[in-house]
Chains A and B, each alone.
Chain A
Amino acid sequence: MNTKLLFAGSARMMMRYKMRTFFMAIGIVVGVTALVFMRAMGVGAEQAMMDTVNKTFSTATINLVAGGGHMGPRAGGPVTSLRVADFDAIENQIDGVVITGAMQWLPSEDIRYQGNTRQMSIYGYTDQTEAVWLRGVEYGEYFTSEDIESASRVAVIGQRAAEALFGDEDPIGKQIQAGSVPLRIKGVLELQGIDTHGADKDDEIHVPVTTLMRRLMNVDHVFAGRVIIDDPDNVENVGEEIKLLMRERHSLNEGEPDDVVVITPNLVQDIVSNANRVLGRYLPAAAGVALLVAAIVIANIMLIAVKERVPEIGIRKAVGAESGQINFQFLTETVVIALTSGLFGIGIGMIAAVAFGNLSDVPMIVTPGSLALGLGAAVLVGIFAGVMPARQASAMDPVNALR
């Protein structure tokens, strides 16, 4: 069979029956455009979230949270076994650990300055916070090791919190009241914005972790902490060693669950990318519905076309076409239309995605994979829609077709 001639014929049919081609094409063009556009949105969102995660959890970082297997409160009250000394032990006993920082958290406390009262979260950090949590002061100064040792009554404050309490006044050196404890402001924190949990990191105050434990909360355990290691590739191994060390120090027997959750960046990335699958995969699946409708429309138009072209099928069979070749021809015509529509669709989708990305804050990323997905979907629609009409055409009896 001379396939070149056959393809040329299919292309001609497309051009000469413009209305028919248009109605067959429009569904695929819209569907594929939507697919490419939504996929660009999904990939963009995934990338943006990954960037945030990587900023928050550097790849050489391991986070520890008190609690067994899950975060947050649990039955039987808070886990009280995680201590500042545990972090000193990790720093001293495990190879590859550069620095550690324990952290305690008082979710809400009344902070007063003269007539103003404001409820805020109070975080207890060590003097290593700048190195461990990558956040320092905008001006003034952070805690010193003496502040930690002596549980000094000092604090540094977020910028929004400072504005709320002090207005235009310079907060440095001012005395505030946290519950019944007086604290002197040493510095103002760098801006950080909203974190991944939705908390405003500029509306909080930091105090030495020892001050928070002893003077404000009257506990001797911490809530969480962070370990920085020297080699990101080693993060899983060090994570395991920390788990073992924690079990040993907390005298857990075999079979008892961990009382500290060790969160490695890999774990976080897994969780986040799972969440993103919804954006990256299920959203484009909505475009699939449009394509399914397109397939049904195309199949219908082709079935009508086959009826119109009965004499053509008869004559082709009379001059030597086998049934399989008729089948191939009609399938080819549908697929050629679908493929061409798909090319238009990925073109329009790509332009729309880039334009939308430039005109708005929504991150849009068009990948070659998304384009291939769009084109592949178009071809699949063509095959799906073309099979039945093609089979009907090929089964036609030439004697009846030519009557």
Chain B
Amino acid sequence: MKRIEAINDFVIKFANVNGSGSASANELFAKAILRMGVSVSPRNIFPSNIQGLPTWYEARVSKRGYHGRRGGVDMMVAMNPQTWDADVAEIEPGGYLFYDSTRPMPKSKFRDDINVIGIPLTEISNNAYADPRERQLFKNIIYVGALSMLLDVEVSVFERLFAEQYKGKERLLDSNVQALNLGRDYVKENVAAPDLPLGIRVERSDFVGDQIFTDGNSAAALGFVYGGATVAAWYPITPSSSVPEAFQRYCDKFRVDAASGQHNYAIVQAEDEMASVGIAIGAGWNGARAFTATSGPGVSLMTEFIGLAYFAEIPVTIMNVQRGGPSTGMPTRTQQSDLIACAYASHGDTKHVLLFPDDPHECFEFAAMALDLADRLQTPIFVMSDLDIGMNQRLCKPFKWDAAREYDRGKVMSAADLESGREFARYKDVDGDGIAWRTLPGAHPTLGSYFTRGSTRDAYARYSERGPDYVYNVQRLLKKFKTAAGLVPQPELRPAQQTTRLGVIYFGSTSPAMIETLDILAAQGIHLDAMRLRAFPFPDSVERFIADHDLTYVVEQNRDAQMHTMLVSELDINPACLMRVLHFDGTPITAHFIARSIAKSAAASAIVAKNFPVQSEAA
């Protein structure tokens, strides 16, 4: 029978029952591959549930360093009887099925075009352990041990990982090593060539280098620490809760004054999302750097407040770790479907700045940058992550901080500025960039106070319902938004290897799958210039990019092509110049999906292109 042969290049998927302790065993497996110097990117596909429902962990091992989902499964570790049939069906022909063979399975439950490796995991575990909880937990380590043998992962790598994890808890260290060896020994004694090692396996490499392995949510939390956030308010919601939780952990470690023991931060778990953003806005008004983290349903609740912060011009940072919507939607699945809800949040004419990080490294950078932008622009700044980036560990560039970097506190008039006789007009555009100067409460005994509100006012913050005052103010806000386009992270360009009339626009968590897609398509002779958007508002370069191509694909993870809509309406683009590539089933987009979609469309549009002579090609 055919078997898939690949070194350092395969997809392995673990099908588990949630609450069974499999998550940490699977993570151990992924980390061990990393320690072999081989690129791996795992993804949790988990239910909105605490115990008993199916959960999967898909690890992509890639010798080229692709971090996106590829599509397809080369090896299935089938530990969940509930999902057995679907799991077995998902394996690529020639792939591998690893299962617990303690209880015999009828022949009809298998396929004849895959390689089957049965290990009596329950039996091994039950023979070695008496305590039911230990039996369950160590069964997970036993399968990791068996897999490590089958895939050629060195045992010393595990020993080191255990030693780091259980430093000072030697008893746990020993028992984990023992469980791992139970699995390894069984394979050694009972599995013979050609099954040992498998056609897919791991070989020591030096691909990882100085990269780090972390998740977007804790990276963002660290970014907020480095960026100087002092007030955080939040309400628990999947998949964003681990942002404030990690912020708390980092603050406990790095923000406690050594001499006094006092905290240089304040974190409040509020009663709801409205209070969370209200607290952050109150702190921003009063000159502290503040953020809240939430997901789509939370943004819906915060919308009124976001309009207030936009109109009263209060700095605030909102981290939106997007999940599947609408309503409760798919709480534990990923989507990029809050773009319009955030870009235009609240009633009336509003526009907000959005940042689109594509990995944990950028989550760190953009979180810190968002605090600067919020102060500079005096407006809400959204960091638009999603579950795929936020809750999965990803290999990425190490965090960096420029030692000379100061926080940009924006236009704040001090007591001395006020004393100097400079005029203070809270809502007047004195610099021509649409951004007015503000003062902080308590700044000066007689100068610079103002009463701000969500209702209309003149340039001096005095209540006014006069049309010209209103128009001046909202036009200035529009000018400020233009200014923002120059301050936000600019798009990242990946030119095709040869001249092409096709372009593709993508952003956020689509990024790793897109990079792989570009290689797949180039190999098929389809070349695309690629532009990764990193923020909204769009700088002029986006418009030029679209104008420079006959057809630009817009790849996004939502049903309604929200980025496409924003491009068309904000840049007055002829929709015929854009082609949608949409993925929205809640799983992270795959390279195979994008490549298939674009290849099909490119083949169809090639006919049109032939009747359409293009000058640049002749030249």
Is chain B a partner of chain A in the same complex? no
